[in-house]
Amino acid sequence: MTALLEVRDLHASYGTTRVLHGLSFGVLEGGVTTLLGGNGAGKTTTLRALCGMVLRTGEITFAGRSIAHLSTEDIARLGIAHVPDGRGTFVRLTVEENLELGAITRRDRNAIAQDVERVFGYFPILQKRRGQQAGTLSGGEQQMLAIGRALMLQPRLMLLDEPSFGLAPRLVRELFGILAALNKSEGVSLLVVEQNAALALDLADQAYLVETGRIVFSGAAREIREDEKIRRSYLGY
Amino acid sequence: MELFLQQTLAGLATGTIYACIALAIVMTYQAIGHLNFAQGEMAMFSTFIAWQLIQWGTPYWIAFLATVAVSFAGGVLIERIVLRPIQHAPVLSHVAVFIGLLAILNSLAGFIWDFNVKPFPTPFGTAPLLGNGFIDAHQAGMIAITLLLLAFLYGFFRFTRVGLAMRAAAHDPVSARLVGIRVGWMTALGWGMAAAIGAIAGMMIAPIVFLEPNMMLGVLLYGFAGAVLGGLSSPVGAVIGGLIVGVVENLAGTFIPVIGGELKFTIALVIIVAVLVMKPQGLLGRPVLHRV
Ligand SMILES: Nc1ncnc2c1ncn2[C@@H]1O[C@H](COP(=O)(O)OP(=O)(O)OP(=O)(O)O)[C@@H](O)[C@H]1O
Ligand SMILES: [Mg+2]
């Protein structure tokens, strides 16, 4: 498998505060990579840096092309859909308008309509709420909407920032099932940031552990899952 | 009673102009978070362009459309050239730029076309309408044009993808970028549209207040009052606010003897202050619906 996303020596800062100190990692074409780490490790910042939402330096290559100097909107247009921390819901617009916005850069109207139905297939609750102001959705519904909106881009790569955050356990399992299905059947590559390591390691093929802006451990997800010592010392389960 | 009705209708007619200016102000405010004090002077300058075209023998409606198009382009250019470089600058920088823009447009218009008051044609005529002359043809035309404009804008924002993208960019620029919307261009587009709306308002009010570089001073004040009254975050509120201000202005001027013609300006200020004190979010500028 070839690399879809390659990151080398990524640094990022908020104003004068340096937060990332040279991260290198990658996502394979059709693969799932997870970034694990505790609060304040720099996971959210890493995703923001990839999308040009914070000041960053380093090499970022997507599908063989450097995106380190592109604007956030141009990176999205290349097919990188970011489900951000906080979900990025357009709270004053309807559920349906939120989904349409996910496809705002596409021109194929008929396919867009089909994709809306496809998203409703994955998340039937969104269909029921289609005319409702998105800000009134529950946290879980907003998470589904955020993933649905990302799908509307027909992305090659999805960046997911703690998709399990604030969801009931049953919903979390369902959501990760859908993510696995998207990856398998639609070939969308995933970069998943999680605190729930067990869950993320089940989904991923590669894993990186982030601590205070550095990668302290990396390897195949399966090995980490099976290595009790690593689990105990780094992941705490 | 008849006088009351007549003054209400007349107030509605001028109210449409305030509504347009209020709408232009709110659109800009939603896009960049600042009040454009130069909105009135931009409209005035547009009206001079229309006047010049008509002087050169251009038929009215062609001059009208050309002015709308030129104003749109002018609005886009002002955003790209003047506002974009200072987009992250503090409020005071924006105030300074808007006042500068106001002064430049004002003196430029005076320099090119002089400060003498000029008549401006109406395409509708001034014949009294509705038999006993409740309102005249121009006032009716003003109302009709504004309604057309509002219907067009409603359709644009409600049903087109560009309109949706503009709303998204105004509400949540960060998320808008993440779905690939070029937020900067949406802002420029909003400026173009605000300038075009202002141009229409200018061309409609010019036959009444006559054309001169300071013609929009009062209108801008009333437009602000309408925008504040409606709530700066609500385009619909701005329109309703503008209409209310128009009616209140006219009725107060007619029926409260002290106010008469001279003190009418004060009404706009009274409205602005009263709203800011009693209901700062305005009539329709309700806070976003949030789950609690
Ligand atoms: N907007 C900001 N301005 C300044 N510092 C910030 C900002 N956002 C995050 N930081 C700092 O950057 C560091 C990394 O934060 P980040 O949000 O990337 O962590 P995280 O791994 O996503 O944590 P969590 O699991 O809690 O979401 C933290 O020390 C945080 O305080
Ligand atoms: Mg985070």
Statement: residue A184 has pLDDT above 70: yes
pLDDT of residue B263: 63
pLDDT of residue B1: 74
The DSSP H or E segment spanning A149 is: helix A139-151
Strands A32-36 and A206-211, bridge-based pairing: parallel
Query: Which is the closest atom of ligand 1 to the Cα of A41?
Result: 21
pLDDT of residue B131: 59
3-state secondary structure of A3: strand
* Gap between the Cα atoms of A21 and A63, Å rounded: 24
- Strand arrangement, sheet containing A214-220: A80-83, A157-161, A189-194, A32-36, A206-211, A214-220
**A46 CA to middle of ligand 1, Å?**
10
* Gap between the Cα atoms of A41 and A45, Å rounded: 9
How much is the average pLDDT of A8-33? 95
Q: Of the ranges A45-59, A161-175, B171-185, B191-205, which one carries the lowest mean pLDDT score?
A: A161-175
* Per-chain mean pLDDT for chain B: 90
Which band of pLDDT confidence, cut at 50, 70 and 90, is reported for residue B133? low
**A169 CA to middle of ligand 2, Å?**
19
- Could you tell me the pTM of the whole model? 0.90
CATH class of residue range B2-117+132-278: mainly alpha
| Per-domain boundaries in chain B | 2-117+132-278
* Gap between the Cα atoms of A143 and A156, Å rounded: 20
Assess if CATH 3.30.530.20 describes domain A31-51+76-235.
no
3-state secondary structure of A159: strand
Minimal Cα distance from A72: which residue of B?
B177
CA distance A129 to chain B (A): 15
* Gap between the Cα atoms of B84 and B187, Å rounded: 9
Q: Judge whether A140 is closer than 8 Å to chain B, CB to CB.
A: no
Pick from B167, B171, B179: CB nearest A76:
B179
Query: Which is the closest atom of ligand 1 to the Cα of A210?
Result: 21
Burial A139-169 (b: 16+ CB within 10 A, else e): ebbbbbbbbbbbbbbbbbbbbbbbbbbebee
ipTM of the complex: 0.94
pLDDT tens digits, residue range B224-236?
Answer: 999 999 988 888 9
Closest CA to A14 of A46, A36, A39: A46
Q: Is A105's CB within 8 Å of B179's CB?
A: yes
3-state secondary structure of A67: coil
Distance of CA A7 to the CA centre of its chain: 15
pLDDT of residue B290: 46
pLDDT of residue B287: 54
Q: Is A73's CB within 8 Å of B182's CB?
A: yes
Which band of pLDDT confidence, cut at 50, 70 and 90, is reported for residue B285? confident
pLDDT tens digits, residue range B239-284?
Answer: 999 999 999 988 888 777 776 666 667 777 888 888 888 877 888 7
pLDDT of residue B288: 44
